[in-house]
Amino acid sequence: MKMRLSKKSEYACLALIDLSESYEKGAAKIEAISKRKRIPKKFLEQILIALKRAGYLHSKRGNDGGYWLAKDPGEIKVAEVLRLMDGPLAPVDSVSQYFYRPTPIERHPRLHCLFKDVRQQMIEKIEKTSFADLIR
Amino acid sequence: MKMRLSKKSEYACLALIDLSESYEKGAAKIEAISKRKRIPKKFLEQILIALKRAGYLHSKRGNDGGYWLAKDPGEIKVAEVLRLMDGPLAPVDSVSQYFYRPTPIERHPRLHCLFKDVRQQMIEKIEKTSFADLIR
DNA sequence: TCAATGTCTACTAGACTGGTAGAGAATAGG
DNA sequence: CCTATTCTCTACCAGTCTAGTAGACATTGA
């Protein structure tokens, strides 16, 4: 089994932390976030657009443009962001909550059950943790 | 974050389950395991060799050859097998127990801590579960 | 010697990751 | 209306990983 936090997820979290830290202090430019959190700018662009499309951010173009949070940091859970960036959190599709699909492992109930537990254990914490929790 | 059980790990577990089921009943042929558990034969070969090299199996060639467990099923933990097949279990190297390496996430202690917890929660169950537990 | 089986090395198609490049569209100030 | 600044969109790419396949070789027992 491989559990990996992709750079995309990692950068998305760092960007949201940055925006949470300056919540209600106006728009932040890509350039600024990129420098503060050391994220490649063009890569960050794509990530912010994805977050915007998913409804987590607002933006404005032009001289005093930038991004800002569309929700309270307390309402954005880490798990949502990881799912948005990398897809299902489950180790196999047959134990996935939102992306269920049958797999060979289902034929072996105990093994299936084990990975269901693993998923549950893992997910518990990140479904509770919000970005407000991360900046406190 | 992506948590994925690779086919390699999945097949390795199924093969070890098969061999656990016939523990002390003599050698099992690749062909037979392959058919019973529906694993591509040539792929299974490689997996069994890896398991043998790691000390989990013995083998014999020739007409009445095959593989059998080198240890009691109760002494083989699922976590060991997943590590052998796919490498570290940790989501980022900076929270890995056996493969530590620094990552950007370390600069943000709360995030770092979160993923340390995630790893711990996830690993707990598979470090306790043995193949004897899976066939009971 | 031969047939059956495990062992070893090499190869590969396709997907994914972590980016980069460059043109286009909105916005505000002058 | 012009321009600078910023976000937006599409395309591309090199390297790595996954899930295998192919084929020759080594060992064993009858």
Distance measured from the CA of protein residue B68 to the C1' of nucleotide C2, in angstroms = 26
A interface mutation test: which of B122, B123, B134 has the most A CBs within 10 A?
A: B122
The reported pLDDT for the residue numbered B107 is: 82
Which of A86, A108, A121 minimises the CB distance to B125? A121
For chain A, domain boundaries: 7-135
In this model, does residue A113 exceed pLDDT 90?
A: yes
Chain B residue at shortest CA distance from A110: B134
Instruction: List CB contacts of B71: < 8 A, sequence separation 6 or more.
Output: B55, B56
Chain A residue at shortest CA distance from B107: A37
Give A103 or A56, the one with higher predicted confidence. Answer: A56
Provide the shortest C-alpha distance from residue A53 to chain B (in Å).
19
Tokens of A53: 């499309």
The reported pLDDT for the residue numbered B35 is: 97
Q: What interhelical angle do A109-128 and B7-21 show, nearest 10?
A: 140
Q: What integer is the mean pLDDT of A59-69?
A: 97
The reported pLDDT for the residue numbered B85 is: 97
The reported pLDDT for the residue numbered B37 is: 96
- Given a contact cutoff of 8 angstroms between Cβ atoms, the answer to whether B7 and A104 are in contact is no
The reported pLDDT for the residue numbered B105 is: 86
Provide the shortest C-alpha distance from residue B62 to chain A (in Å).
31
**Overall pTM surpassing 0.85 (yes/no):** yes
In this model, does residue A105 exceed pLDDT 90?
A: no
pLDDT by residue for chain B (136 residues), tens digit each?
888 999 999 999 999 999 999 998 999 999 999 999 999 999 999 999 999 999 999 999 999 999 999 999 999 999 999 999 999 998 888 888 888 887 878 889 999 999 999 999 889 999 999 999 999 8
The reported pLDDT for the residue numbered B91 is: 86
In this model, does residue A106 exceed pLDDT 90?
A: no
Query: What is the residue-wise DSSP string for A42-58?
Result: HHHHHHHHHHHHTTSEE
Q: What integer is the mean pLDDT of A84-90?
A: 94
Give CA–CA dist A21/A19, Å, rounded.
5
Which of B9, B114, B124 minimises the CB distance to A121? B124
In this model, does residue A59 exceed pLDDT 90?
A: yes
> Which chain A residues are Cβ-neighbours of B133 within 8 angstroms?
110
CA separation (Å) from A47 to A23, A50, B134?
Answer: 19, 5, 41
In this model, does residue A74 exceed pLDDT 90?
A: yes
Give A121 or A27, the one with higher predicted confidence. Answer: A27
The reported pLDDT for the residue numbered B7 is: 96
CB contact under 8 A, A125 and B119: no
CB contact under 8 A, B126 and A135: no
- Given a contact cutoff of 8 angstroms between Cβ atoms, the answer to whether A65 and A42 are in contact is no
The reported pLDDT for the residue numbered B94 is: 84
The reported pLDDT for the residue numbered A98 is: 86
Give CA–CA dist A104/B7, Å, rounded.
10
Tokens of B69: 């467990």
pLDDT tens for A10-54 read: 999 999 999 999 998 999 999 999 999 999 999 999 999 999 999
CA separation (Å) from B59 to A118, B41, B45, B49?
Answer: 32, 16, 12, 9
Q: CATH fold of A7-135, please?
A: Arc Repressor Mutant, subunit A (1.10.10)
Give CA–CA dist B40/A2, Å, rounded.
21
The reported pLDDT for the residue numbered A89 is: 92
Residue of least CA–C1' distance to C3: B63
